[in-house]
Chain A
Amino acid sequence: MPSETTSMALREVTAEPEFSLWQRIIGLTRRSPTAAVGLGIILFFGMLALMAQYLMPHEPELVYAERVLHPPSSEHLFGTDGNGMDIFSRVIYGARFGFGIAIPAVVLALVIGIPVGLWTGYRGGMVDEALMRFFDGLRVFPSIILALAVVAATGQSLINVVIVLGVLDSPVFARVVRSEVLALRSSVFVESAIAAGNPTWRILFIHLLPNAIQGAMAQTAVRAAWAVRISATLAFLGIGIQAPTPEWGAMIRQGAEFMISGQWWVALFPGVALILLVLGLNMFGDGMQEILNPRSRAEK
């Protein structure tokens, strides 16, 4: 299809028109309200994480021994937990763990997945075939269980949680990039880049990458949501992050025993925060996919 290849070549040289940040936000809201709301939630929690020390009324790990399991009050908006720590402050501080695990995990997954996808898609052949079969094979393991088992086996530290989540997530990005590269491999701009004598790394990273990365970028928010969920699940089970740490999953674990004796606030608030952040990331991701691939929704 000659018209398609020309337009693709054109896309490479035409610079994107400049928009101000404000125009971009309005544009996003119009194109996908879901994505805009999601972005709003993400920014809200990002602000909590960055400004935690100014927003917390109490120290997150300070024990008020005489105020164990106090219900929500004006002094402790979300009540206190079984150790007498202020839950409101701990929920705010917990945002740091959400981002602190999800961002490096997704970055790691991109750093591994993108080159693998570029290379296998460009070269094809045995390595490509073997790797894709390997990724298929990984699918038969339930992702939560696999992540739990590997973290437990490799030693329980925060850095291990990040590495395991990043590695387990990288096939997603490799796959998306690979399929884009497959479609672009024989297009005119790639062939002319080869004819001009570019080394392979230049073809991969300078010519193919900018055209093949869109799908992967649209996946990042959803994968970040996955990372936040799994890391909280690990903490809930007491793997990786241990109890007095103000991480949401660990806080829900602390509150679990109080649910059947009626102290609902200990587990409720960290859970709500966790749901909101994951929901925000999922909404943003869902909306971005909708914008990038309008065919996936609303075909009348």
Chain B
Amino acid sequence: MTFTRFFLRRMMMVIPLLVGIVFGTFMLIRVGGLDPVGLLAGPTATAEEFDIIRAELGLDQPLWAQFGIYIGNVLQGDLGESWLSTRPVLDDMLDRVPVTLELLLWGVGIGAIIGIPIGLKAAFKPDGTFDHVSRFFSLFGFSIPTYWLGLMMLFVFFYLLRWAPPGIGRIGLMVSQPPEVTGTYLMDSLIAGDWTAFRSALSHLILPVTCIAVIAAAPIIKHTRAIAIEVISSDAVRYAKASGLPTLTVRRMVLRNAATPVLTFVGTELTGLVGTTSLIEYVFAWGGLGQYGLNAIINGDFTAVQGYVLFLALFSIFVFLIIDFVVFLIEPRAELQ
């Protein structure tokens, strides 16, 4: 199968999913019996004013017609206006994407760098001491509340040791912000060659990234171990072992065969850790997309919540597609399931 055909088939499969997702986010604020008209009109509005607002929002139409309007708006990139910021939700979110991606990519990247070797080492000697310790560590990572870990880090590294800055924002208050290119202070300060800003941005990044990395490492350890064990017990590897090949050669073989599924899993973790990242942003006042979404949820800014949930779903689909394409390019025999 050529790449173009694979690409087209894969895209075809995504379309019904997209419609379903848009429908899901459309229904999200309608299941709740919350009345956006009442929110907008305020307590002193008359019945006519209610009707006018209802007509303006298209809420006097039947549900399917409302869905039609919503799909039309979404296709035009109009996700409505947030009443917290009084700006279009899409603009609000696009501004914050790089800020969140910075945290997420560093966190998952470092989590993978920690998790994959631990998972592999555990798999080479199942039921050994190292395996048990790593299993406990992984279970612990599954159980620790993200936000609590962030708070404890702040206490130890800011209050006790004074190594880290207080968990507010992404750069020191006294440091001038570098000119915006990528939207992340770390990259922008590097581009501008501003070392003070770079150091400040880096020091603000370390604690939240560490938290995400710890949480990310847990499932990566578990899955790397499971994948590696499966590869080790495959006929090919057992044959290689039985033929008396040196351990190092066998291990290299295991690595090569485990690489694709492990990397695929790390890729899916990018979507799995969006919630974790949001909570970390909330604790460290990071000001990214995650904090924006949580604030919208907490304050009942439902247009923004709807846009945020839709955005996250699209992000997941995007990541899954990229993973599929990369896997196809690495291993063309991987067929569509």
Contacts and interface: CB of A to CB of B under 8 A. Distances in A.
Interface of A: 34, 133-134, 136-137, 139-146, 148-150, 152-155, 225, 229, 232-233, 236-239, 249, 252, 255-256, 259-262, 264, 267-268, 271, 274-275, 278-279, 282-283, 286, 296-300
Q: Chain A interface secondary structure, helix, strand, loop or mixed?
A: helix
B265 interface: no
19 contacts: A137-B24, A140-B17, A140-B316, A141-B24, A141-B309, A145-B293, A145-B312, A146-B309, A153-B28, A153-B305, A154-B32, A155-B34, A252-B148, A259-B154, A260-B166, A262-B159, A264-B159, A268-B152, A300-B126
A275 B297 contact: no
A153 B148 contact: no
Given A153-B305, A260-B159, A140 B21 contact: yes
A275 B271 contact: no
Interface of B: 16-17, 20-21, 24, 28-29, 31-34, 126-127, 135, 139-140, 142-148, 151-152, 154-155, 158-159, 166-167, 226, 229-230, 232-233, 271-272, 274-276, 278-279, 282-283, 293-294, 297-298, 300, 302, 305, 308-309, 312-313, 316-317, 320
Nearest to A264: B155
B312 A141 contact: yes
A153 B271 contact: no
Nearest to A138: B24
Given A141-B309, A237-B298, A297-B229, 19 more contacts: A133-B17, A134-B20, A140-B313, A141-B312, A141-B313, A142-B275, A145-B308, A145-B309, A229-B143, A236-B147, A249-B145, A260-B155, A260-B158, A261-B159, A262-B155, A264-B155, A267-B152, A279-B139, A282-B143
Contacts of B166: 260
Contact of A153 (B152, B159, B230, B302): B302
A157 to B, nearest CB: 12
A275 B24 contact: no
Contacts of A141: 21, 24, 309, 312-313, 316
Contacts of A262: 155, 159
Given A142-B272, A259-B151, A271 B145 contact: yes
A267 B312 contact: no
B64 to A, nearest CB: 19
A152 B278 contact: no
Contacts of B309: 141, 145-146, 149
A237 B299 CA distance: 11
A274 B294 CA distance: 22
B297 to A, nearest CB: 5
B312 A142 contact: yes
Contact of B152 (A142, A271, A283): A271
A260 B148 contact: no
Contacts of B294: 148, 237
A271 B148 CA distance: 6
Nearest to B166: A260
A6 B164 CA distance: 66
Nearest to A277: B143
Nearest to A272: B148
Contact of A252 (B147, B158, B282): B147
Contacts of B226: 296
Contact of A260 (B29, B146, B167): B167
A239 B312 contact: no
A158 to B, nearest CB: 16
A145 B145 contact: no
Nearest to B32: A153
Contacts of A286: 135, 139
Q: 5 smallest A-B Cβ distances: which pairs? A: A144-B275, A153-B32, A271-B148, A140-B316, A279-B143
B159 A229 contact: no
Nearest to A296: B226
A245 B226 CA distance: 41
A81 to B, nearest CB: 14
Nearest to A274: B145
Contacts of A238: 298
